[in-house]
Amino acid sequence: MEEFDSFYAALDLAESGYEIYPLSANTKIPPKGHHGYSEATRDQGTIFAWFKTAPAYNLGLRLDTSHLLVVDVDIHDSAKNGKDSLFELQRQGKTLQPDTYIEKTAGGGLHYFFKYTGDKTRKIDVWPGIDLFNDFTVIAPSEINGKSYSPLDGRTLADVKQAPNWLVDELAGQKANWTSEHAYTTRPKKFMGHLLDEMVTGTTQGNRNAWLTKMIGRLFVTGAEPETVYELACSINERFIDQPLETKEVTTIYNSILKREMKRFERNSIRNSKIAG
């Protein structure tokens, strides 16, 4: 991404009537002192002030005020590949218009944009690897780890099509049924099941530090490697917290809990050695 690319894109979007907000360079997180999509604006003076001191900002787009919906097709997890889910939906006759505005994400997935006037929502894994949201999103030309969000086929938001009826029904609560080979078998819920349910439910800005502290603590209880816990903590922060914390705050919380877990491990080792002796 060239210097000021986000600034010029922000001005173009604002002139077209879309509300935008800044994100720290190379992240999806609002800069310190900013409040994410709640401060999104079309005011060009405000936008100029944001980018004057930080021309490398990434760019966020508020969706609900523009009556937009994003279908996020993720491919990070081979066990939950969103493209596989798209093929299964197509097999059921449920397709996404290929001529709407689509962006390739920095992670290699796809963001399908549609017109939608329903209630504000953010639904995770509606189908494996596919999220639905109409509150906010990162948008081109934002860049993460050297990889940019980019429109397909030179399209713009002027190309956005109406959300298909089957998708509107899904958001209204009419759940799509998978075929029998994808049917879910109900099983007794264990610790990890409760943890995952609570994780996906997420939390709001006012409770995010305490909630993330609890989530990280519970992840350590599972016995996962510290590196795994940290990667999951960063992902949870970005995906399931309304207005994510800055990465350094996540790291501080993680390090505090890691130190506590190491002390606990040392105490248990000493106690076990005494018992064995």
Q: What is the pLDDT of residues 234-271, one digit of tens each?
A: 888 888 887 888 888 899 999 999 988 888 767 666 55
Residue 214 token pair: 């609890």
The answer on pLDDT for 227 being more than 90 is no
Domain boundary among 162, 182, 202: 182
Mean of the pLDDT values across residues 17-35? 91
Claim to verify: residue 97 and residue 202 sit in the same structural domain: no
Is the domain of 50 the same as that of 94? no
Q: Which domain holds residue 96?
A: 67-182
Beta strands in the chain (DSSP E): 20-23, 58-62, 68-73, 102-104, 110-115, 122-127, 130-133, 136-138, 143-144, 147-148, 150-151, 161-162
The mean pLDDT of the chain is: 85
State the pLDDT at residue 137.
95
Say whether both 52 and 82 belong to one domain.
no
What does DSSP say about strands 102-104 and 150-151: parallel, antiparallel, or unpaired?
A: antiparallel
* Beta bridge mates, 131: 72
Co-location of 199 and 162 in the same domain: no
Same domain, 118 and 147: yes
Q: Please choose, from the candidates 122, 124, 147, 129, the residue with its C-alpha nearest in 3D space to the C-alpha of residue 76.
A: 129
The number of domains in the chain is 3
Percent helix / strand / coil, the chain, rounded to 5: 45, 15, 35
Query: 183 pLDDT band (50/70/90 cuts)?
Result: very low
Same domain, 220 and 197: yes
Summarize pLDDT for 31-85 with one digit per residue, the tens: 888 888 989 999 999 999 999 988 899 999 999 999 999 999 998 767 778 999 9
Q: Which of 15, 46, 62 finishes a domain?
A: 62
Specify the pLDDT at position 179.
Answer: 46
For residues 72 and 87, state if they share a domain: yes
Distances 42 to 39, 65, 175, 270 between C-alpha atoms, Å: 10, 11, 36, 61
CA–CA gap between residue 130 and residue 132 (Å, rounded):
7
Which of 155, 182, 209 terminates a domain? The answer is 182
pLDDT at 184 > cutoff 70: no
Confirm whether pTM is higher than 0.85: no
Are residues 47 and 105 both part of a single domain?
no
Check pLDDT > 80 for residue 187.
no
Q: What is the pLDDT of residue 180?
A: 40
Are 4 and 53 within one domain?
yes
The yes-or-no verdict on residue 1 having pLDDT over 80 is no
Same domain, residue pair 27 and 97: no
pLDDT value of residue 14: 94
Q: What is the pLDDT of residues 83-106, one digit of tens each?
A: 999 999 999 999 999 999 999 999
